[in-house]
Amino acid sequence: MAVDPRQKIGSVVLTATLAALAVAAVTPLLGGSGMDYARLWRGESPDWEIFVNLRVPRTLLAFLAGAALSVAGALYQAILREALATPSSLGVTAAAALGAVGAIALGSGEETGFPVVWAAALVGSGAVIAFVAALGRVKRFTAFTLLLTGIALSGICTALILLLHSLAGITRSFQIAHWLMGGIDAVEYSVLGWLAGAIALGTWWSIRQARVLNVLMLGEAWAAGRGVDCRRVTWQGFAVGAMLVGSVTAVTGPIGFVGLIVPHLLRRMLGSDYRLLIPVCWLGGGAFLVVCDAISRSILAPVEIPVGVTTALLGGPFFVWLLWSR
């Protein structure tokens, strides 16, 4: 008996929602150190403070970061019509890291707080994506050529990061090295507020433009013939993706492959309808990174593995498989 496609899509959306809720509820209870759940239920110290001030903010940060990176990956793949397009392959992640490392090396974050690192990451990611988008207007630059350009820019940014790392003092050099591994740590709720606002804005734009992205996936000529301003949508999409990636990278450091794995797997289940793909990427990406973070802090407890290492170990083989399957 044939399965109704709408039922399949509905089941995937429901599964993603339930999985995200389950992960958000269960993960704060897990960790490398034991917790007395009876004391936690009664709100007694120190278990209550650990849960509220460490476990919950860390889970929320992982969920927001995974959601943003996944949506950014889906957005870039729609604009370039290329499944291999991700924030990392386009150089956006490395450029955001370069901006943030520059702010850390100069000590800007110590005097004025997190927004300086955030602004520096946005400037870095915005500059690179503007360059890539400008190249995209040149007809001889295909999506594959833009990916190669992004990889080259990523290499340049990485070299500059290493230069700043070598010139920084011992204390800041250690901070940079730890930050570059990409990690999820407990942060203040005010930082989560900043991050949630930026991610909500980018996700809202992506969902609102989902119908346009569906048309754009068919080609610029097709979209232009149906009244789509391809130039405006492309520039705005690149800018929104840069904002999402830059905001996350400023807090967590560079975390790769989330924007590749989650959109690709969900596209295989849902198809390429961005009206469904964007919100499910938001849910699935958040749940995926939360699970990766739980694995990172539990598998070798009490030693914690940076979540960027875990996603790279998962994403590297996935990327090779994706190339081979194509």
Which pLDDT belongs to residue 160? 93
Residues 6+ apart with CB under 8 A from 80: 136, 143, 146, 147
Mean pLDDT computed over 130-138: 77
Give CA–CA dist 268/325, Å, rounded.
13
pLDDT digits (tens, 9 = 90+) for 209-249: 998 998 888 777 777 777 788 888 888 888 899 999 999 99
Residue 65 binned pLDDT confidence (cut-offs 50, 70, 90): very high
Tokens standing for 112?
């004025």
Mean pLDDT computed over 299-322: 82
Give CA–CA dist 152/139, Å, rounded.
20
Q: Phi first, then psi: give them for residue 3, nearest 5 degrees.
A: -90, 130
Q: Phi first, then psi: give them for residue 263, nearest 5 degrees.
A: -60, -40
pLDDT at 131 over 50: yes
Instruction: Kindly give the interhelix angle for 170-180 and 92-105, rounded to the nearest 10 degrees.
Output: 160
Q: What is the CATH number of the domain that holds 298?
A: 1.10.3470.10
Residue with tokens 């593995």: 305
Give CA–CA dist 94/160, Å, rounded.
10
Which pLDDT belongs to residue 26? 86
DSSP 21-85: HHHHHHGGG--SS---HHHHHHT-TTHHHHIIIIIHHHHHHHHHHHHHHHHHHHHHHHHHT-TT-
Residue 125 in contact with residue 96, Cβ under 8 Å?
A: yes
Domain count within the chain: 1
pLDDT digits (tens, 9 = 90+) for 82-95: 888 888 888 899 99
Residue 96 in contact with residue 161, Cβ under 8 Å?
A: no
In 10 A of CB 12, how many CB atoms? 17
Residue 298 in contact with residue 31, Cβ under 8 Å?
A: yes
- Tell me the residue range of the domain where 198 lies: 5-325
Give CA–CA dist 177/162, Å, rounded.
10
Give CA–CA dist 284/273, Å, rounded.
16
Tokens standing for 180?
């570059």
Q: What angle do CA 91, 94, 98 make, to 5 degrees?
A: 130
Which pLDDT belongs to residue 71? 95
Residue 285 in contact with residue 315, Cβ under 8 Å?
A: no
Q: What angle do CA 194, 75, 203 make, to 5 degrees?
A: 35
pLDDT digits (tens, 9 = 90+) for 257-277: 899 899 988 888 888 889 889
pLDDT digits (tens, 9 = 90+) for 140-182: 667 778 788 888 899 999 999 999 888 887 888 888 887 888 8
pLDDT at 111 over 60: no
Residues 6+ apart with CB under 8 A from 43: none
Residues 6+ apart with CB under 8 A from 149: 91, 132, 135, 141
Question: Cα torsion at 243, 308, 322, 202 (round to 10°)?
Answer: -20
Largest Cα–Cα distance in the chain? 67
